[in-house]
Amino acid sequence: MTRTSVAPTSLLEFARESDPVLRALLEEKVSAAAKLPVDLTPAFGALRDYVLRGGKRLRGALCLLGCAAGGGARHEAFTAAIGLELFHAYLLVHDDFMDRDEERRGGPTLHVSFARPEGVTRAAKTVSDVSVATASAHAAGSLAILFGSLCQAWALEQILAAPVAPPRALAASRLVARALAEVTLGQALDVAAPLAHSLARDAALRIEELKTGSYTFALPLELGALLAGASDATRGALANYALPLGKAFQIADDLLGTFGAPEQTGKSAGNDLREGKRTLLVLHALEFATPADRALLLSGLGKHDLDEAGIEALRGVLRRSGAEEFARAESERLCAQAEAALESKSIPTAVGAELRAIARYSVRRAS
């Protein structure tokens, strides 16, 4: 199986169309920041750069495909698609802080940017400004969370601005609220899981489904279909595609986070191990590793100061136990299950072809 960094056509097209719109929206926010009682222009600029720093634009593209599957016009879902990209950025900002990540897409995470001199405000002119401009780690993290939440608010504005009839707009708001609750719960479970004495594989997959899979595939496809007024059959087929693919995507993400090349992924490898994440990889290794390897894995999991040699030793455990091979096979199995759902007659042929390409890219990507 060949890894790929070449995105499907629908993702590339949406990125070309959406990036100028996102830039204009965020530039407007940066300009408005100069009028605040404390000039937070650099902080708004850092958020703008963070949002525009690459990304697959997967969720927005899926929203448009969900709309097309339901027979809707592209303009009915475009603002919602923009909103989903901001929604994704909001979740990444929070996730980066909670996971202590310092890099995202080849640049600093937001809380790291804010901790740098003048990372929050313009050159300080008063004593109070100095205390903000040289933000402590706690203040930088707090501001990152707040700016992530600002991104969430902007996302909701865009999603609810969809030019559709009020009943569909109301249904969209309920859908997004439910998805927000699910992903927040998933993140809470992800943070708490390393503290648990044990975790079953099914439980780990459920956490990953809530944390990432649900809002990456199910939410955008259902949102687009809902805005188009799609039939129950179409929405059902899209759900049957999205649910297994969400799990496959997260498994692939875990593999990249452990074995991926930082120059391709845009972030350092091994942080999941430093955080002690109970991913499918880790759970398989804990079950099937030799006693010595299991002890080695347990001794290193959750050590925030683990160096590269220590990370490589844990990677060795994952390989020898068969965890890496098992996870890759499981992601492919789930991808095939998702593709099978596209055989439904309620999915237009052209949309099905793009969704099939996205499924394969999602589990075989190199970044």
Instruction: List pLDDT tens digits, range 250-269.
Output: 999 899 989 987 777 666 77
Note the pLDDT tens digit of each residue in 271-322: 889 988 888 999 999 999 999 999 999 999 989 889 999 999 999 999 999 9
For residues 297 and 291, what is the distance between their CA atoms, to the nearest angstrom?
10
Q: What is the CATH number of domain 9-364?
A: 1.10.600.10
For residues 273 and 100, what is the distance between their CA atoms, to the nearest angstrom?
12
Compute the average pLDDT of residues 186-190.
87
Confirm if 96 and 106 have CB atoms less than 8 A apart: no
Using a pLDDT cut of 70, give the percent of the chain over it.
92
Quick one: tokens of 211?
A: 């944390």
For residues 237 and 341, what is the distance between their CA atoms, to the nearest angstrom?
6
φ, ψ of residue 103 to 5 degrees: the values are -125, 145
* 121 pLDDT more than 80: no
For residues 76 and 142, what is the distance between their CA atoms, to the nearest angstrom?
36
pLDDT at 125: 43
pLDDT at 213: 76
Q: pLDDT band for 3, please (50, 70, 90 cuts).
A: low
Compute the average pLDDT of residues 189-213.
77
CA-nearest of 147, 117, 110 to 131 is: 117
pLDDT at 127: 35
* DSSP secondary structure letters along 1-37: ---B----HHHHHHHHHHHHHHHHHHHHHHHHHTTSS
Q: pLDDT band for 45, please (50, 70, 90 cuts).
A: very high
Q: How far apart are the first and last CA of the chain?
A: 15
Average pLDDT, whole number, for the chain? 89
* 135 pLDDT more than 70: no
Confirm if 33 and 41 have CB atoms less than 8 A apart: yes
- For residue 232, which amino acid is it? D
Quick one: tokens of 202?
A: 């099914």
pLDDT at 197: 64
* 42 pLDDT more than 80: yes
Confirm if 249 and 214 have CB atoms less than 8 A apart: no
Residues present in the chain in total: 367
SS3 71: coil
37 compared with 118, residue with greater pLDDT: 37
The structure tokens 């901001």 sit at 86
pLDDT at 131: 43
Note the pLDDT tens digit of each residue in 50-73: 999 988 999 999 999 999 999 999
For residues 250 and 24, what is the distance between their CA atoms, to the nearest angstrom?
31
What Rg value do the Cα atoms of the chain yield, rounded?
A: 21
Quick one: tokens of 108?
A: 């600093």
- For residue 41, which amino acid is it? T
CA-nearest of 169, 150, 148, 146 to 159 is: 169
φ, ψ of residue 163 to 5 degrees: the values are -80, 70
pLDDT at 341: 97
For residues 295 and 52, what is the distance between their CA atoms, to the nearest angstrom?
42
Q: Which residues, in sequence order, are CB contacts of 35 under 8 Å at separation 6+?
A: none
270 compared with 74, residue with greater pLDDT: 74
